[in-house]
């Protein structure tokens, strides 16, 4: 028995050793895989291929390793707008590039400001005498706008182009809350601060309707003007004025209808499109980057790697505040107040001639916004000039962080303002009472046990919360008034939570000038005393983690056939819109049930491109379950 026992122990030890060896080998291989970067392909004379398999963003998001491992699909790609603009600018003057190709088969959208800026870069390529070709199975609003700057717009015979225009319905929860007797305690400061209206009303208030009509009207006019300038022959009104009549006129063939309206130029499948590109760029059968394409081409990642940005002359720092503003270290892709403040503090002694604050955010946590504002003010205290550049959004908390700017740039399609504050706390005392659950106890002060979401909020707590929100609003107004060199009374008149399009914001004094990021950088160099000397931008960035670096290194590499595909027809576009609405609904419910403090957030601001695909599929159901006391 002793011998058998020893043999058994030996076998167990061997088994454990082998298991340990295999685990070490597995994690060693995984580490090597994550650390690996795909080899940059050589630059080929021919086409610059921009395979837009995802969304155009201001700043790429950090990849969640757990979500990546547990997810059934790879995350949708993200393309920084400035990378695309730089790639196109280089292509315009490089003799190796004969044609630029935008494959938009899986394009997930982008903000209007980004689309306009990239469109201008496409125009630059065309002015250099080089054709720009786009292909998609279906073009939606942002795709139509981007493609309008192309020389040739191709559409699949089974696809089409559809323009809906900005706007749409909001979901209101007042009836649902009343049905389940849930108390949504809303505290706000600002007549137009409509983020909380879905919890207070069953329809849109006249004030919110007025503000949204103004903003969406300005965006729609800007959209139409942009397409008319880029493609004068396009008959956009024919498609949008009477969409049903337009559909019937084409016999339900939306590809032919889009061509008749001048939105697209040629109808053909991917093989025919590739053959057309090959006739310009030259044929190639090397499959040199994993794409089985018949034409010579260079992908975006390889093109940018082969053309690194020049680092000559004085340094202009650029800090990016993109996405929802939240407390803590979140991001990139979300503006974590602690992360960005630390990033600014760590680089304050780097010798920057000036600092540009690039903002593309609908707002969020008031505390996080103030944390970042103070960090920016520390640069100002060191006599470093501050210039603000607003992208698609700089509203609520996004406007809060713009206030240190000596010169503030926006664009006509920028949404800004929304100077207002709110908080929402739900309590369930009436809901529980329906099931015989009540509460009682002993209190030593009016605040004992408060806030009590099961027994209800006391009048004292409700009053204190409203006073706190009003105090935060007055701080917001005061900071904004000081920044814009006006009185708090005058600022309050144009604040009140109202959003403004960029051109209107300039008229009323919320911003100084119209201009893009390049204009802001040039102004920063001027204020920094660079004069006619050379300078370059230095983007302050958090160190990229291994997983994000690995995933992003494959951006613009061979497309994953299992990745999220762009809608192929009108029915698919409807389904996609349903998904986006679901994500927006989940966000509204989560905001009501969250533990966040005072918020400076913009309801009217458009949903960030691709946000629906980042949302947890269970969020909506979980939020509803919490709402009715089921979770």
* Euclidean distance between CA atoms 540 and 611, whole angstroms: 24
Domains and CATH numbers, the chain: 44-163+231-310 (3.90.226.10), 172-201+314-432+440-533+569-631 (3.90.226.10)
| Below-50 pLDDT ranges, the chain | 33-40, 555-567, 610-631
For residue 476, which of 455, 496, 449, 459 has the smallest C-alpha distance?
496
DSSP annotation of 109? B
Active site residue 61: no
**Residue of 60, 98, 130, 193 with catalytic role:** 193
Asked whether the bond before 235 is cis by omega within 30 degrees of 0, the reply is: no
Active site residue 248: no
483-521 residues labelled b (16+ CB within 10 A) or e (exposed): bbeeeeeebbebbbbbbbbbbbbbeeebbbeebbbebbb
Phi, psi of 517 (to 5 degrees): -65, -40
- Residue 192 is encoded by which pair of tokens? 């137009």
**Residue of 396, 402, 418, 556 with catalytic role:** 396
CA–CA distance from 128 to each of 50, 123, 262, 309 (Å)?
A: 18, 9, 24, 21
49 pairs with which residues across the strands? 101, 299
Contacts of 405 (CB under 8 A, 6+ apart): 357, 386, 387, 388, 483
20-57 residues labelled b (16+ CB within 10 A) or e (exposed): eeeeeeeeeeeeeeeeeeeeebebbebbbbbbbbbbbb
State pTM to two decimals: 0.84
Radius of gyration of the chain (CA): 27
């Amino acid at each position: 028995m002793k011998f058998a026992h020893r043999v058994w122990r030996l076998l167990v030890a061997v088994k454990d050793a082998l298991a340990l060896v295999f685990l070490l080998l597995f994690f060693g291989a995984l580490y090597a895989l994550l650390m690996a970067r795909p080899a940059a392909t050589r630059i080929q004379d021919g086409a610059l291929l921009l395979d837009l398999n995802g969304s155009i963003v201001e700043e790429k998001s950090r990849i969640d390793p757990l979500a990546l491992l547990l997810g059934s699909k790879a995350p949708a790609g993200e393309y920084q707008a400035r990378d695309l603009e730089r790639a196109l600018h280089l292509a315009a003057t490089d003799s190796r590039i004969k044609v630029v190709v935008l494959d938009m088969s899986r394009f997930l959208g982008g903000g209007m400001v980004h689309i306009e800026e990239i469109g201008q870069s496409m125009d630059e390529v065309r002015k250099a005498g080089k054709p720009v070709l786009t292909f998609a199975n279906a073009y939606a609003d942002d795709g139509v706008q981007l493609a309008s700057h192309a020389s040739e717009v191709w559409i699949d015979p089974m696809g089409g182009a559809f323009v809906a225009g900005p706007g749409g319905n909001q979901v209101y929860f007042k009836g649902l809350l009343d049905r389940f007797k849930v108390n949504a305690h809303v505290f706000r400061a600002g007549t137009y601060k409509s983020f909380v209206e879905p919890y207070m009303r069953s329809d849109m208030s006249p004030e919110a309707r007025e503000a949204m009509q103004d903003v969406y009207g300005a965006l729609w006019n800007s959209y139409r003007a942009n397409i008319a300038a880029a493609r004068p022959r396009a008959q956009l009104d024919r498609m949008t004025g009477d969409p049903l009549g337009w559909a019937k006129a084409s016999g339900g063939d939306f590809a032919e209808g889009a061509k008749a309206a001048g939105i697209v130029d040629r109808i053909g499948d991917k093989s025919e499109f590739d053959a057309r590109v090959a006739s310009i760029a030259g044929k190639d059968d090397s499959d040199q980057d994993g794409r089985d394409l018949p034409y010579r081409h260079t992908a975006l990642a390889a093109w940018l790697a082969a053309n690194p940005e020049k680092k000559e002359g004085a340094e202009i720092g650029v800090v990016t505040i993109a996405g929802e503003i939240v407390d803590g270290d979140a991001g990139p892709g979300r503006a974590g107040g602690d992360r960005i403040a630390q990033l600014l503090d760590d680089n304050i002694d780097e010798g920057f001639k000036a600092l540009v604050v690039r903002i593309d955010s609908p707002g969020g946590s008031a505390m996080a916004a103030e944390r970042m504002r103070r960090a920016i003010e520390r640069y100002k205290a060191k006599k470093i000039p501050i210039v603000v550049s607003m992208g698609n959004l700089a509203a609520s908390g996004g406007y809060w962080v713009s206030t240190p700017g000596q010169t503030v740039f926006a664009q006509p399609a920028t949404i800004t303002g929304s100077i207002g504050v709110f908080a929402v706390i739900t309590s369930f005392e009436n809901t529980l009472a329906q099931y015989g659950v009540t509460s009682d106890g002993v209190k030593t002060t009016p605040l004992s046990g408060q806030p009590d979401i099961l027994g209800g909020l006391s009048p004292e707590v409700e009053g204190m919360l409203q006073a706190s929100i009003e105090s935060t609003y007055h701080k917001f107004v005061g900071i904004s008034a000081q920044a814009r060199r006006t009185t708090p009374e005058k600022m309050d008149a144009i604040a009140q939570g109202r959003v403004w399009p960029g051109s209107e914001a300039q008229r009323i004094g919320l911003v100084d000038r119209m201009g893009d990021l390049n204009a802001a950088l040039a102004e920063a160099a001027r204020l920094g005393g660079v004069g006619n000397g050379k300078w370059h931008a230095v983007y302050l960035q958090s160190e990229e983690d291994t997983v994000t670096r690995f995933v992003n290194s494959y951006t613009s590499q061979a497309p994953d056939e299992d990745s999220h595909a762009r809608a192929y027809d009108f029915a698919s576009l409807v389904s996609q819109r349903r998904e986006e609405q679901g994500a927006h609904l989940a966000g509204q419910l989560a905001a009501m049930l969250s533990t966040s403090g005072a918020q400076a957030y913009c309801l009217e601001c458009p949903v960030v491109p691709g946000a629906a695909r980042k949302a947890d599929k269970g969020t909506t159901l979980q939020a509803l379950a919490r709402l009715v006391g089921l979770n």
